[in-house]
Amino acid sequence: MSAAAIERVHEVPALRARIAAWRAGGLRVGFVPTMGNLHAGHLALVDLARRHADRVVASVFVNPTQFGPGEDYARYPRTLDADATALAARGCDLLYAPTLEAMYPGGSAGTVEVRVPALDDVLCGASRPGHFRGVATVVAKLLNQVQPDVAVFGEKDWQQLLVVRALVRGLDLPVEIVPGPTVREPDGLAMSSRNQYLSPDERRRARAIHDALVRVAGAVRSGGDPLAAERAGASALESAGFTVDYVAVRSADDLGPPVRGRPRIVLIAARLGATRLIDNLLIDQ
């Protein structure tokens, strides 16, 4: 094994053996779950996990159960060798890339499902039915397989972060969930593996999402009506060529209606051509 290589495991027993050895040495384990095609946003999560743990495991698994019919499961970029190289360079200790069979023995229809009903049919859950059930199920399985002390999830997927926190509470999983700040391109576009689907022209227009977030957050922060701010944000996005799924001002901790005095957030999901992008910004920092 060269100095730059990272150990890879593909099955649960090999994963457990490696982690048991660390634990026997009294080491604290951090975990970064991903679907691969790693970019600077993911690698910042590895750095964050490292700050909370002695050893870091990253998983790469394109989870079929969180994609709906007609979504991009088949064409989702799979770049395992490049991911392994990037993880090794970042000092990640173990790459867990389970096979479909290791994750879903007997098929991805699965015999067990995990749901967080309070959060899974609003916003992205409304436009992607079943998505958060797939996320909650695979994250519960991954946390159970790795059994980390700490797991890191990006704030860009804010609703996912809340779903994960709720499932950890609901299932009494002994893991600390640490949120990772969104990493942005210089023009404000949140890093995402899906950005590479954008044509050069779409990429130029994609900054409108962050611009809209900043404007909506600013308007609400300075006392403006959240509904009016949402409408203005949506119309700015439409002018930039987006089909808007939602521009929503919500309570940050439960996605309920915004309440002054509690942390609020603005969330956007919008489509440019065939590419669906999401992003969010906390209003009350």
What is the CB-side half-sphere exposure of residue 214 using CA atoms within 13 A?
Answer: 9
Residue 35 in the binding site for ligand PAF (CB under 6 A) = yes
| 131 has catalytic annotation | no
Question: What is the arrangement of strands in the sheet containing 264-272, beginning at the earlier edge strand?
Answer: 243-251, 264-272, 275-282
Beta strand ranges found along 55-146 (DSSP E): 55-60, 94-96
Among residues 58, 116, 135, 183, the one that binds ligand PAF under rule CB under 6 A: 135
CB neighbours of residue 74 within 10 Å: 8
Residue 125 in the binding site for ligand PAF (CB under 6 A) = no
Q: Which of 42, 52, 131, 210 is labelled catalytic? A: 42
Cα–Cα distance measured from residue 41 to residue 43, given in angstroms and rounded to the nearest whole number: 5
Among residues 120, 149, 155, 157, the one that binds ligand PAF under rule CB under 6 A: 157
Residue 192 in the binding site for ligand PAF (CB under 6 A) = no
Number of residues that bind ligand PAF (CB under 6 A): 10
Contact of 211 with 187, CB cutoff 8 Å: no
Among residues 84, 138, 167, 168, the one that binds ligand PAF under rule CB under 6 A: 138
Instruction: Give 134 or 226: the residue with its C-beta nearer to ligand PAF.
Output: 134
Binding string, residues 49-78; x marks residues near ligand PAF by CB under 6 A: --------------x--x------------
211: its two tokens: 């611009």
| β 94-96/7-9 pair status | parallel
* Residue in the block written with tokens 């951090």: 30
Binding site residues, ligand PAF, CB under 6 A: 33-35, 63, 66, 135, 138-139, 157, 160
Question: Which residues have a catalytic role annotated?
Answer: 42
